[in-house]
Structure 1
């Protein structure tokens, strides 16, 4: 096998815990070695190495304390791809190799009691790891994107498509679609961010003293450009952009009260980037680690008095009826509105029609739970007000009238994370039964919402829609 000093480690996928007796030898199963031989014959594959590492014969403990039998041994398959491959070819070869290996692993006799894992290497710096449920086309896309980011100037690229438990369990990674990218210089960040946008893949970017943490989102190229410029300002020794917190943090060697420190703060506040609706905070630390905070572009969050949303219609506002009862869940027929996309954001709405036969009133923000195809809630979803200062207002909905609650979230990459939101459970008003709404276009996860683990969603209160 050729030396792998400059090749990437690209872990791709198939982990199968197969119950049975303890292994009697260090020889890999014939089904796996046969698959490795077939992979070795693929054009663009430099070599394939197969090793088997036995483990102890003692029974292992399951999730509920039960003994599940002896621990499996590990069969590792390393596929070396030619570093000169173009991204598309590299992806196609990796996908086919993964398919062959998964097929071979599926035919291993249960008595072998092995865990089969694979890794792909090729082209300096790439590392892609995945788990047992990963489809070959996902592996193919990950490898292709990794090669593409390397071609765009990355020094290393790491992708994690999921993590498998040692006992054969499976846990989906909440940052499965994020590429962790290093570069020799922050000057490469903008081109890398543009490439990530084209690939629809979230990225974290890192160079000496500079970090862009994308929080699994497709990067904001303007934010990346701001970070690179800030890192080059006099006195700045470390710069970090935190997408999830909407904050840029700059550590300097400037003394308190120095001109460099004052100039840096003035520069941040003079940038034409943030707005009061979508503010970006900054923190500047001086040589003594004292912090100064403020707002990029001088765009402090709106501090105006609480207000309700204006009706989303040009028709006249419905009259107030103090005698109208509160709407119940049975009074409202709930549907999901069309999703619009613009400049890296998504917008939609939950719509409710009064079917009670008379007027009723709403004065709340609907409760929403975003679920994947398996019916599991997306994890760590942060719900925020639709706009600063917005509060629910009482809306008396006539019979047959429709209200809506607007939604807004940042685009998230689904290029390598197919765990989209396919159902939204809507609690229209307090005390109502949740209503499951299919939010796909054709019933498949590929057409679901890109509200993934770790998303931030802005939800507005009910307002007049017609």
Structure 2
């Protein structure tokens, strides 16, 4: 007998749950389709997502560029504003940086016309609606000459554009005038006196006046003035000599006494150029002494241009000064009174500088004169053969009074030496502040910029300045 299979029966509860699930799915699909239809019918009424906020400067940037480009004498103009993403990231209390505007002038215009163009540029910027005070950079490149000008006027009324074009007209190959630095470059040493005359006529102070490649360079790092013509003429003559590889006229005042120094590097012996400098009359024309150092292939020689030596800065004489200090009951500084230090490494136009300090760590003032006694220690632990000599031979040092906590300084200067073959550089200076004091070893490698040592090598000549009071 054969049995017929029984059909499986679903539980009534499962049937109810299944029906409800299907109904809910259908309802959801219907609601979605209805919402899409309504959105399609009201598409014009729905607002699009808001664009990121656009700064006013970005909105008007192209208009400002167009207005600036329409000014007579402007070849092109660019306005740069802060990127929108960066603008959104600024904290609320931090104002957005001002726009940066660069104007390229048409070439071969007169100084007066070029200045009038930039005055008109400031007129547009004043009414442009740009936020803050836009910074302005003015550039120009003379076709066919490669002469360039880059200026950063400080604002309306600044005559730097007039002066910059005047330098270009006088043959300058590069003019860079900003609030922090004024530099003019000529093609060869013979061009420098003419540029110095222009600076004098314009009353335009310069930090540097040099040739392309810095073969001849006048530089002033303190209170720059228009370069004195006799000084630049001397520089040009020195730089034009056949044996000269570089000539640098520096006005440097680390001790408050702006004594000019002419440094000349020559091929061969230094004596012919040194003798020529001693016979020159340029120091008489300048009205002050000019110290010089001529570095030859193997030796160097120093002296004064026109043989015009410096006079003592102590009109009463050293003996009178010492007597006055003794009368005031100020004793000489002793070794235990002073703590030696080293700082201020610097490099400029073929020269190197380092400053030795002496701090009065006692509770009473003491008098200090002369200069420190020095020797040098190389990385290998050996002492190089170095000639250390006074800054001004034959001049009596001025006696200075160092109060408790006060500091006296002595500046060291030497000519740059080649480190191409990884020589044994100086890593420490051995200092004796006053006669009888203990020798203090000072690590030059702790001084910023001299972490690998300094190029005081075998045969170096180091000029050691007198002790002077450090500026407060």
TM-score normalised according to structure 2 size: 0.48
Larger relative contact order (C-alpha < 8 A, sep ≥ 6)? 1
Which is helix-richer, 1 or 2? 2
- Rg (Cα) greater in structure: 2
TM-score normalised according to structure 1 size: 0.48
